[in-house]
Amino acid sequence: MSRIVLAYSGGLDTSVLLKKLILEGNEVVAMTVDLGESDAIAGTGARAALEAVRAKALALGASDAVLIDARERFIAEYAFAALRANALYQDVYPLSAALSRPLIAGLLVKTAHEFGATVVAHGCTGKGNDQVRIELGVRALDPSLVCRAPLRESPLSRPDAIAFAREHGVPISHTAEKPYSIDANLWGRSIEAGVLEDPWNAPPEDVYAWTASPAAAPPPEEIVVSFEAGEPSVNASTGAAMVAQLNALAGKHGIGRIDLMEDRVVGLKSREVYECPAATVLIGAHRALERLVLTRDELRFKALADRRFAELIYDGLWMQPLRMALEAFNAAFAPRLTGDVRLRLHCGNATVTGLRSPNGLYREQLATYGMDDAFDHQAAGGFIALQALPLEAYTASQRAPVGV
C-alpha cells in the first residue's frame, strides 16, 4: 500500500487508472492541472467543468483531489519561452503538449511532497513521448520518487477500459467512444489515432474542434500583435487571456491546422494532427519582428539555436542545463524586440502585412529604388572583387577548365 499522486484528467483512461490503483489498496490523491484546455470552447464554463473532474475523482474513491490553475504559469514560463525560440518541432509543430509535461512533472513532485506521497503516477502509454517527458522531469527534481505508468505496465485497449469502467461504476462520457486520442492546452490541441493512423487518409473535419474549415472561413480580418521587450499583446490583452482570445479569433479563420508525420522520442514515426491557432499567429509575428530588428548574423545563428531548443523540448529535456542556457541566450535579444506586427487573417493563413519598431534595422534610404537613394553603388564593385578572390584562385588551380 502506497500513497500515490495521480495526474488526473478526468477522462476514461485516468479514471480507470484511479480505480485500479485504489483496488490495489493504495491511497490515491488525484491531481488535475488547468492548462486552459477547455477555455477555447467552454469559455467561462471551463472552471465548472474542471470542478466536476475533481468531484468525479472523489466520487471514485480518491482520498483527496486537487485542482491547480497553472494557466498563467504555463503561458509565461513555458509557451512564451518557446515563442522566444520560435519553437517548431520538425518545422511545424509548436510543441503544445510537449511544453505542458515538465510543468505537470513539477506539480506532481510538489503535490507528492505536500501529501507525503512516495509514488507519482500518470496515464501515458509505453510508446508515447509524454511518459518520457513526465518521468525525466520527476527524476530530475526528486529521484527518490517512484514513477508508475500503469498503462505501460499492462496496456489497456479501449474496449477493455470501457468494460472495466462499466463493471466498477466509472462514469463513461459520450466522448469516450470517440476513436481519437486528444490532448489540449492553451498552446494547442493534438489529435491522433483512429482513421488518422493511415497517413493516406485526409483528416476528417470531425477531428477539429478549435478551427473552422479554411474553405468556409469568414472575410479577412486584420490584427496587430504588439511586442514589448519580447512580450506579446493583442488589443492590450496579455498572457493566458490573450492566448485564449487569439485561439478563438484565429481559429474562426481556420488558422493553425497542422498534419505531421512525426518522429517520436522512442524511435517510431507517428501521424499527428494539431490545431494551434494562437501559437501559429504569435510565432509568425515574432519571427517577422526578429527579421526587422536582429542583424543578419544574429538571425542565422539564432535559427540553429532555435531548432535545438525545439528538439530539447520535444525530447523531454526541459531540465537540461542547455535549455536554460538557450533561454538566457534568447533573453539577450528580448530588450530590442519591441514593435508592432500587423497580420491579415484569412482562409487558414495569418499573413504579415506590416511591421514597425523603434529598433528596426531597415533603412529606406538604403533600400529604395527611388530618388533619395543613399546606397554607395560603387562600393559594391570592390566588395565583389574581394569576395571573388578565393573563387578565382580555385578556378586557376584546376588543370581542367571548371565546367560552366
Smallest gap from residue 174 Cβ to ligand ARG (A): 19
> Closer to ligand ARG at the Cβ: 130 or 135?
130
Q: At its nearest, how many Å lie between ligand ARG and the CB of residue 87?
A: 12
373 is catalytic: no
Are the C-beta atoms of residues 108 and 7 closer than 8 Å to each other?
Answer: yes
In angstroms, the CA 182 to CA 170 distance is 20
Q: Is 98 in the site for ligand ARG (CB under 6 A)?
A: yes
Q: Which of 34, 130, 183, 306 is catalytic?
A: 130
Q: Is 34 or 183 the residue whose CB approaches ligand ARG more closely?
A: 183
Site for ligand ARG in 200-229 (CB under 6 A): none
DSSP codes joined into one string, 54-120: HHHHHHTT-SEEEEEE-HHHIIIIIIHHHHHTT--BTTTB--HHHHHHHHHHHHHHHHHHHHT-SEE
Minimum CB distance to ligand ARG smaller for 39 or for 183? 183
Interatomic CA distance for residues 156 and 211, integer angstroms: 31
Which window, 155-163, 189-197, 346-354, 379-387, contacts ligand ARG (CB under 6 A)? 189-197
- Whether the Cβ atoms of residue 134 and residue 126 lie closer than 8 Å to each other: no
In this structure, what C-alpha cell is assigned to residue 229?
Answer: 521587450
Residue type, position 354, single letter: G
Contact flag: residue 312 with ligand ARG (CB under 6 A) = no
* E strand segments, 165-238: 181-185, 188-192, 221-228, 231-234
Please give the span between the terminal C-alpha atoms of the chain, in angstroms, as a whole number. Answer: 78
Q: Does 192 bind ligand ARG (CB under 6 A)?
A: yes
* 61 and 112 Cβ atoms separated by less than 8 Å: no
Indicate whether 196 belongs to the interface with ligand ARG (CB under 6 A). Answer: no
130 is catalytic: yes
Say which of 13, 34, 39, 306 is annotated catalytic.
13
Contact yes or no for 34/72 (Cβ under 8 A)? no
Nearer to ligand ARG, 129 or 330 (CB): 129
CB of 265 to ligand ARG, least distance (A): 8
Which of 17, 66, 97, 147 binds ligand ARG (CB under 6 A)? It is 97
Q: Is 145 in the site for ligand ARG (CB under 6 A)?
A: no
Q: Which of 14, 26, 129, 185 binds ligand ARG (CB under 6 A)?
A: 129
Measured from the CB atom, the residue of 91 and 297 that comes closer to ligand ARG is 91
133 contacts 316 by C-beta, under 8 angstroms:
yes
- 181 interacts with ligand ARG by CB under 6 A: yes
- Nine-digit cell at 264? 517520436
Query: Could you list the residues that contact ligand ARG (CB under 6 A)?
Result: 97-98, 129-130, 181-183, 190-192, 262, 272
List, by residue number, the catalytic residues.
13, 101, 130, 181
